[in-house]
C-alpha cells in the first residue's frame, strides 16, 4: 500500500516541482511585478525604514501582534533547513549556476510574497476566539468566491505541516545537536517537545514573542559565521561568483571536478525549486501569520513580505552557497549532498568550530520552523474544523516532534523509511499548495492593484506615514 502511495506521490511531485509548475510560480511573480510597478524595487528603500524603524505593538485588548512580530514568526517558518541542506542539494544537483537561478526566482518572489501578504491582510477574518485568521483560504473564499478551492488549499497546508513543519524539522534539530555535540536524539526530542509545548500553549502572542527574539539572533549568528568563512577564503570569492554566473547558462560539465548529470536545465530547475522551497514565495504559507498583524494598511504589511524573501534567499541562501563554492567543497567532495555538504564546507573554513556553527544553525533554523509552521497548521485546521480542534492540534504537534526527533528509539528500524516517506509526501503537498494560491493571486490581481494604488495615494497625501 505504502509503495503504491509513494509511487503516485513521485509522479505528482515531478509535476509540482517540475518545469511547468516552476514557470507558473516565476511567471506569476513577473506578472505581478509588471502590473504593480516593480514594488520590490520601488519600495525597497521604505522596506528597510519600515522593518528597522519604530515598531507599533498590538492595541490594548487586541489579539493581533505587531507587524515585525508577524514577520519574525513567518521568517521562523521560512528560514529553515532549506537554507542549509536545500541550498547544498541544489548545488550538488545543478552545479554552481543553480545559485543564480535561485536569486533570480527570489527577485520576482519578493513581489509574489508582497502580493499574497497584502491580500491576506485585506481579506482577513476573526474567528470565534477573537483571533485574526487569514491566508490563501480566506483570500479564495472571501475575495475570489472560490470556497472549494479554499478548502483544497487548507487540506494541503494542514497535511503538509505534519512533515515539513513538525516531524522532519524535529529530526533536523536532533541531527544538528548530534553532529555538533553528540546529544542523544531521544533527549533532544523530549526537550524539544517540552520547549515547543510551552511556547504553543500560550497561543500566537507567546509564539511571536519567542520568534521576535530568536529569529534575528539565529540569522545574525549564521550570517556572521558565514562571513568569517568567506573572509578566510576571500581570494576565492570572485571565482565562485564568476562560476555561478558562467555555469548558469553554459554546461556545468565543463567545470573541473563537475559531477556527471550537471546540466543547464538542472541548474535552472533545482535553483528555482530550492529557492521557492526556501522562501515559500507563492506557496501561500506565510500570509497566514502576516494576516494577524496590527497594521493600518495591507500594503504596509506587504513590505515585510519583500524583506522576508530578501533576507531568506538573497542573504542567507547566498551565504551558504558561496561558502560551499569558495571552499572548494562542491567539487572536492562530489559524493556529499544536503547538510553533510554544508558541514564539510564550514569545517573546511573553520575547522571544528565550523561544525559547531553549522550544527547550532541547523538546530535553530529547524526549531523556529517548527514554531512558525505550528501557526500554519492551527490556521488551516481552524478553517477546516473550527476552533474546538486547537487543543488536539497541539497534542498532535508534540507527538510528531517526538517521533521526528527520536524515531529510531520510538519506531525502531522503520524510522528512517517513515521519515523519508513523510518528507516526500509533505514536499509534494507543499508544492500543491502553490496551485490554488497562485490562482487566487491571478484572479485577484486587479484588487491587489487597487490596494497598492490606494496605498500610494495615501502616502502621497500624508495620510500614511513611513
pLDDT tens-digit profile of 275-323?
787 788 889 999 999 999 989 999 999 999 999 999 999 999 999 999 9
Q: What is the pLDDT of residue 350?
A: 83
Residue 180: pLDDT band with limits 50, 70, 90 = confident
**CATH code given to domain 12-54+61-458:** 1.20.1740
Q: What is the pLDDT of residue 415?
A: 60
Is the CB of residue 51 less than 8 Å from the CB of residue 66? no
- Residue 126's beta-bridge partner residues? 132
Q: What is the pLDDT of residue 33?
A: 97
**pLDDT at 137 exceeding the cut of 90:** yes
Residue 208: pLDDT band with limits 50, 70, 90 = confident
**pLDDT at 456 exceeding the cut of 90:** yes
pTM over 0.85: yes
Mean pLDDT of 331-340: 74
Q: What is the pLDDT of residue 97?
A: 87
Q: What is the pLDDT of residue 448?
A: 96
**pLDDT at 261 exceeding the cut of 60:** no
Instruction: Compute the distance between CA of residue 135 and CA of residue 133 in angstroms, rounded to an integer.
Output: 7
User: Is the pLDDT higher at 394 or at 164?
Assistant: 394
| C-alpha closest to that of 317 among 405, 223, 403, 389 | 223
Would the CA dihedral through 383, 384, 388, 390 be positive or negative? negative
Q: Which helix (H) or strand (E) holds 286?
A: none
Arithmetic mean of pLDDT over the chain: 86
Is the CB of residue 286 less than 8 Å from the CB of residue 437? no
**pLDDT at 345 exceeding the cut of 80:** yes
**pLDDT at 55 exceeding the cut of 60:** no
Give the contacts of 107 (CB within 8 A, at least 6 positions apart).
40, 314
Domain boundaries in the chain? 12-54+61-458
Amino acid at each position: 500500500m505504502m509503495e503504491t502511495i509513494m509511487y503516485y506521490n513521485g509522479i505528482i511531485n515531478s509535476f509540482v516541482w517540475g518545469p511547468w509548475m516552476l514557470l507558473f510560480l516565476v511567471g506569476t511573480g513577473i506578472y505581478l511585478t509588471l502590473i504593480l510597478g516593480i514594488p520590490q524595487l520601488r519600495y525597497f528603500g521604505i522596506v528597510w525604514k519600515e522593518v528597522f524603524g519604530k515598531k507599533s505593538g498590538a492595541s490594548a485588548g487586541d489579539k493581533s501582534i505587531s507587524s515585525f512580530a508577524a514577520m519574525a514568526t513567518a521568517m521562523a517558518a521560512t528560514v529553515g533547513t532549506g537554507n542549509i541542506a536545500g541550498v547544498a542539494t541544489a548545488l550538488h544537483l545543478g552545479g554552481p549556476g543553480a545559485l543564480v537561478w535561485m536569486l533570480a526566482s527570489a527577485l520576482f518572489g519578493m513581489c509574489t510574497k508582497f502580493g499574497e501578504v497584502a491580500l491576506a491582510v485585506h481579506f482577513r477574518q476573526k474567528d470565534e476566539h477573537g483571533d485574526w485568521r487569514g491566508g490563501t483560504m480566506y483570500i479564495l473564499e472571501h475575495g475570489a468566491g472560490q470556497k472549494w478551492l479554499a478548502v483544497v488549499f487548507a487540506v494541503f497546508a494542514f497535511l503538509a505541516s505534519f512533515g515539513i513543519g513538525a516531524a522532519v524539522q524535529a529530526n533536523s534539530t536532533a541531527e544538528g545537536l548530534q553532529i555538533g555535540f553528540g546529544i542523544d536524539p531521544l533527549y533532544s526530542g523530549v526537550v524539544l517537545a517540552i520547549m515547543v509545548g510551552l511556547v504553543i500553549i500560550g497561543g500566537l502572542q507567546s509564539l511571536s514573542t519567542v520568534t521576535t527574539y530568536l529569529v534575528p539572533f539565529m540569522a545574525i549568528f549564521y550570517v556572521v559565521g558565514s562571513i568569517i568563512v568567506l573572509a578566510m577564503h576571500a581570494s576565492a570569492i570572485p571565482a565562485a561568483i564568476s562560476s555561478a554566473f558562467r555555469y548558469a547558462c553554459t554546461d556545468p560539465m565543463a567545470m573541473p571536478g563537475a559531477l556527471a548529470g550537471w546540466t543547464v536545465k538542472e541548474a535552472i530547475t533545482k535553483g528555482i525549486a530550492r529557492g521557492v522551497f526556501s522562501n515559500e514565495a507563492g506557496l501561500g504559507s506565510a500570509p497566514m501569520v502576516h494576516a494577524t498583524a496590527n497594521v493600518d494598511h495591507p500594503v504596509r504589511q506587504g513590505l515585510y513580505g519583500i524583506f522576508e524573501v530578501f533576507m531568506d534567499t538573497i542573504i542567507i541562501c547566498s551565504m551558504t552557497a558561496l561558502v560551499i563554492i569558495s571552499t572548494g567543497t562542491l567539487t572536492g567532495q562530489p559524493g556529499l549532498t544536503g547538510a553533510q555538504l554544508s558541514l564539510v564546507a564550514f569545517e573546511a573554513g573553520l575547522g571544528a568550530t565550523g561544525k559547531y556553527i553549522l550544527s547550532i544553525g541547523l538546530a535553530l533554523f529547524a526549531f523556529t520552523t517548527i514554531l512558525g509552521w505550528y501557526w500554519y497548521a492551527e490556521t488551516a485546521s481552524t478553517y477546516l474544523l473550527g476552533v474546538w480542534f486547537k487543543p488536539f492540534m497541539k497534542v498532535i504537534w508534540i507527538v510528531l516532534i517526538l517521533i521526528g526527533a527520536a524515531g529510531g528509539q520510538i519506531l525502531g528500524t522503520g524510522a528512517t523509511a517513515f521519515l523519508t516517506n513523510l518528507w516526500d509526501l509533505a514536499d509534494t503537498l507543499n508544492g500543491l499548495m502553490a496551485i490554488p494560491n497562485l490562482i487566487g493571486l491571478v484572479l485577484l490581481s486587479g484588487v491587489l492593484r487597487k490596494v497598492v494604488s490606494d496605498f500610494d495615494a495615501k502616502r502621497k497625501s500624508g495620510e500614511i506615514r513611513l
